[in-house]
Chain A
């Protein structure tokens, strides 16, 4: 008895006992779950198999990045859905970043009125559920935009109606390779030039207008190539046929509503992050920068923002992740993303809840975990080294 007592009094052995106990409990719990699933599946005559992925899906998807028709497999439908998730996340992130940074800076502006407007924008947007934003934008687009016959036309090549936004599609012809090549050359040049300019500035203090030079190089080089190779791009212009437009590129009202809603909602959070990040930079830094005679724009770009970046980027990334996860609400307005295809229609058609949900969750999980891993790496790299 005293022996047992002393084992329990010893910290090391007590820890081991507790851990073994926890492991046993968890093991028992998991085996209980598995046996339940097994019993339930036997009772229903089901099994677990992923063969359903390769049978034809049989449903249509109106917005796709890779070719798809309803005779393609569930797997392909899932990939189309995944790409659609990526598409809306991409547009949403661009909109949210642009809007969020602007509003975050306006909130710090000395102009009382503008900063109050920005403040109320943030309060109004982030206190309303994202699903409501999505449904509201969808409602606005569907109910207030005109029918295709009265579509708002932009120079007769792009059309906006309640069936979506149609823009000309670029069709590539022979000789386009030269343009691609020049795009790559332009990018390589600008990276090298950026490095050179930085080195030059570190050594001598001389500054080049890096941004403008690079911008013009990236645009002019492909343009020259475009004319050299005899303009190898033609446009397919959408045209009204019957009740809707045909041809061209197409942005469905669902995609537009989702992009606006996600962008505007996430922008409110990003604005707060940007504001907090700028405020986190010590006031002395700004005063010191001003006292050595830097212009206000240089104070911002050379002193404040580089220091704010360390504070801003981790929560900013998690907002991007949130936006991507929130895009799964697409199912509420019928935009065919990953959850709506694989976890929605495929699930209902094949009755394989377990398999489809496992795939969908694993995909989201791997995206989030890999981005968190990247963030941890970044945090460690930019961390201020303390004692």
Chain B
């Protein structure tokens, strides 16, 4: 090998060695950097190969989308039998809500986006006016879905079902549990012993028992605690339980946020002469909420997923409809198809929620990085 000599400052700019940049460099660095890494890559590729081909075949290529029964499905092809879903899609979405009235659900659902937009995105145009709409939306939605006013037929709660029921329980629970959770978190940090003890007891009780036992209480025992003769709908009782349950979890998340605020903030607030509520409103909560956004959204996602538990006490949420379809002799044994369909719905909506939380976190992140 001959050594070339260069004068100082005249060394030519050589290109980087082959295989360290570009596609091949990326592949070498990320997939084949060592023997074990290469093995892992080969393993992953094989796994993906079988997974993707198996899934695409079963899901789409060999699947049957319309047929009258499982037996007919199997005659046509041996993939998934989506007919069980496509034949009952109305029930999966609306439950047993009368077909002629389903437009009410659609309108309420689309209106929900207008109601939530100003709350979720601060830069929505005409936000001031939309916020008024957000304020009255819950009352409108209740009147519209439930009916009994303005010439709308009254619909019994027992007919509610499907994804609509999931959204009703989930959204109501989420909206109601946030303020209660904040109050509980403040109560738990309070100087007043009685208030603190009460909040701790409530939070620990709710967090200590499985949700399903609370739902049993809601379905079979809550009426005992009401004056004789009171009878309010199972749906309302269930929503109350969901609200309390997730409020307890939110309280713990926010407490974590409150405790993470540097002590200097409180000392500064005291030095300015702010009273308790001013301090809470202007110093504690804005900072605590910002820190606890990921935790709060996770709790919301948990609540939303937990709405499926209502099937155990006999409400017809998507899982209830799914089980009802499977009980039909025509569709017996198609549980995988039905459950995967419901799972996809939850996957999409929960992913949307967690992506929103990531976006919000980045937006509010004022750290100097």
Query: Which residue of chain B is the closest to A34 with respect to CB atoms?
Result: B225
A interface size (C-beta, 8 A): 54
> Which residue in chain A gives the minimum CB-CB distance to B347?
A127
Smallest CB gap from B342: residue in A: A132
Inter-chain contact A361/B30, CB cutoff 8 Å: no
Task: Determine whether the beta carbon of B216 is less than 8 Å from that of A15.
Answer: no
| Interface secondary structure of A, over-half rule | helix
Give, as a whole number of angstroms, the nearest-CB distance from A298 to chain B.
Answer: 17
* Contact in complex: A135, B339 (CB < 8 Å): yes
Question: Are B40's CB and A114's CB within 8 A?
Answer: yes
A195→B194 CA distance, assembly (Å) = 48
Residue of B nearest to A18 (CB): B192
Task: Verify B30–A143 contact, CB threshold 8 A.
Answer: no
A369 contact set on B, CB distance < 8 A: 204, 208
Is the Cβ of B333 less than 8 Å from the Cβ of A143? yes
Check if B351 is an interface residue, CB within 8 A of chain A. Answer: yes
Q: How far is the CB of A329 from chain B (nearest CB, A)?
A: 6
The answer to whether the Cβ of B340 comes within 8 Å of any Cβ in the partner chain is: yes
Bound: A326/B312 CA distance, A? 13
Which of A36-44, A225-233, A280-288, A300-308 interfaces with chain B? A36-44
Answer whether residue A112 sits at the interface, using C-beta atoms and an 8 A cutoff: yes
**Contact-residue size bin, chain B (C-beta under 8 Å from the other chain):** 35 or more
Given A19-B194, A143-B335, CB of A328 within 8 Å of CB of B343: no
- B276-299 at interface with A (beta carbon < 8 Å): none
Contact: B224 with A128, CB < 8 Å? no
Q: Quick check: A328 and B212 within 8 Å, CB to CB?
A: yes
Q: Is the CB of A36 within 8 A of B210?
A: no
Contacts A19-B193, A127-B347, A143-B335 given; indicate if A339 touches B224 (C-beta within 8 A): no
Q: Would you call A36 and B228 a contact (CB within 8 A)?
A: yes
The B310-331 residues at the A interface (CB cut-off 8 A) are: 311-312, 319, 322
CA distance A365 to B336 in the complex (A): 35
- A112 touching B208, Cβ below 8 Å: no
Which B residues touch A353, using CB under 8 A?
216, 220-221, 224
Within 8 A of A (CB), among B213-243: 213, 216-217, 220-221, 223-228
CB distance from B242 to the nearest CB of A (A): 13
Contact A124 B347 (CB under 8 A): yes
Residues of chain A contacted by B210 (CB below 8 angstroms): 325-326, 328, 339, 364
Whether a CB of chain A sits under 8 angstroms from the CB of B87 is: no
- Assess whether A135 is in contact with B335, with CB atoms less than 8 Å apart: yes
Q: How far is the CB of B205 from chain A (nearest CB, A)?
A: 7
A294 close to chain B: CB less than 8 A: no
Are the C-beta atoms of B333 and A33 separated by less than 8 Å? no
State in angstroms the CA–CA spacing of A124 and B354 once bound together: 12
CB neighbours (8 Å) of A130 from chain B are 305
Interface membership of A170, Cβ < 8 A: no
Given contacts A128-B305, A328-B213, contact A43 B228 (CB under 8 A): yes
Indicate if the CB atoms of B339 and A114 lie closer than 8 Å: no
* Smallest CB separation, A129 vs chain B (Å): 4
CB closest chain-B residue, reference A364 = B209
B183 within 8 A of A: no
Q: Are the C-beta atoms of A365 and B48 separated by less than 8 Å?
A: no
Nearest residue (CB) in A for B205 is A365
**Known A110-B30, A129-B306, A354-B221: A139·B212 in contact at CB below 8 Å:** no
- The reply to whether A354 and B308 contact each other, CB–CB distance below 8 Å, is no
- Chain B 6-41 interface 0/1 with A at a Cβ cutoff of 8 Å (1 = within): 000000000000000000000001110100010011
CB <8 Å contact, B224 and A112: no
Known: A127-B351, A369-B204. A136 touches B217 (CB 8 A): no
Please, how many angstroms separate the alpha-carbon atoms of A140 and B340 in the complex?
11
Cβ-closest chain A residue relative to B220: A353
How near does chain B come to A316, taking the closest CB pair, in angstroms? 16
Q: Please give, as numbers and ranges, the residues of chain A lying within 8 Å of B228 by CB-CB distance.
A: 36, 39-40, 43
B350 CB–A CB distance under 8 Å? yes
Which of the listed residues B41, B47, B220, B346 has the most CB atoms from chain A within 10 Å of its own CB? B220
A127 touches B212 (CB 8 A): no
Q: A237 near B: Cβ within 8 Å?
A: no
> Which residue of chain A lies nearest to B38 when distances are taken between CB atoms in the complex?
A111
Q: How far is the CB of A332 from chain B (nearest CB, A)?
A: 6
Min C-beta distance of B305 to chain A, whole Å? 4
Known: A111-B40, A329-B212. A15 touches B192 (CB 8 A): yes
Whether the Cβ atoms of B213 and A339 lie closer than 8 Å is yes
A140: B residues at CB distance < 8 A = 336
B198 touches which of A15, A26, A109, A135 (Cβ 8 Å) = A26
The answer to whether A139 and B336 touch (CB under 8 A), given A36-B226, A113-B41, A131-B311, is yes
In the bound complex, do residue B31 and residue A127 qualify as a contact, i.e. CB atoms below 8 Å apart? no
Instruction: List the B side residues contacting A142 at CB < 8 Å.
Output: 335
Q: Counting chain B CB atoms within 10 Å of each CB, which of A110, A128, A353 scores highest?
A: A128
* A residues less than 8 Å from B308 (CB atoms): 129, 131-132
A129 to B305, Cβ gap below 8 A?
yes
Q: Is the CB of A128 within 8 A of B45?
A: no
Question: Do A111 and B224 contact each other (CB < 8 Å), given the known contacts A131-B309, A140-B336?
Answer: no
Q: A279 interface residue, CB < 8 Å from B? A: no
Please tell me if A184 contacts chain B, counting CB pairs below 8 Å: no
Q: Which residues of chain B in 144-170 are interfacial with respect to chain A, using CB atoms and an 8 Å cutoff?
A: none
In the bound complex, do residue B354 and residue A127 qualify as a contact, i.e. CB atoms below 8 Å apart?
yes
Q: Is A55 an interface residue (CB 8 A)?
A: no
Residues of B within 8 A of A138 (CB): 335
Q: Chain B residues near A357: list those with CB within 8 A.
A: 213, 216-217, 220-221
The CA-CA distance from A36 to B222 in the complex, in Å, is 11
- Tell me if B63 is interfacial: C-beta within 8 Å of chain A: no
> Which residue of A18, A23, A39, A136 is within 8 Å of B227 (Cβ)?
A39
A22 in the interface (beta carbon within 8 A): yes
Q: Is B2 an interface residue (CB 8 A)?
A: no
Task: For the complex, give the distance between the alpha carbons of A357 and B29 in Å.
Answer: 58
A-side contacts of B346, CB under 8 Å: 127-129, 132
The distance from the CB of B125 to the nearest CB of chain A, in whole angstroms, is 31
- Interface: B191 (CB within 8 A): yes
Is A136 a contact of B343 with CB atoms below 8 Å?
yes
Query: Would you call B301 an interface residue if the criterion is a C-beta within 8 Å of the partner chain's C-beta atoms?
Result: yes
Complex Cα gap A328–B44 (Å) = 35
Task: Indicate whether A123 reaches chain B with its CB closer than 8 angstroms.
Answer: yes
Q: Does B260 contact A (CB under 8 A)?
A: no
The CA of A249 and the CA of B299, in the complex, are separated in Å by 40
Can you list 8 A-B contacts with CB-CB less than 8 angstroms, sorted by A residue number? A40-B223, A109-B40, A110-B30, A113-B44, A128-B347, A138-B335, A139-B339, A357-B216
Cβ-closest 6 pairs across A and B: A139-B335, A127-B350, A129-B305, A368-B208, A112-B30, A328-B210
B residues near A, CB below 8 A? Answer: 29-31, 33, 37, 40-41, 43-45, 47-48, 191-195, 198, 204-205, 207-213, 216-217, 220-221, 223-228, 301, 305-309, 311-312, 319, 322, 333, 335-336, 339-340, 342-343, 346-347, 350-351, 354
Please name 4 further chain A to chain B contacts, defined as beta carbons within 8 Å, in addition to the given A114-B41, A129-B305, A329-B212, sorted by A numbering: A110-B37, A127-B346, A339-B213, A353-B220
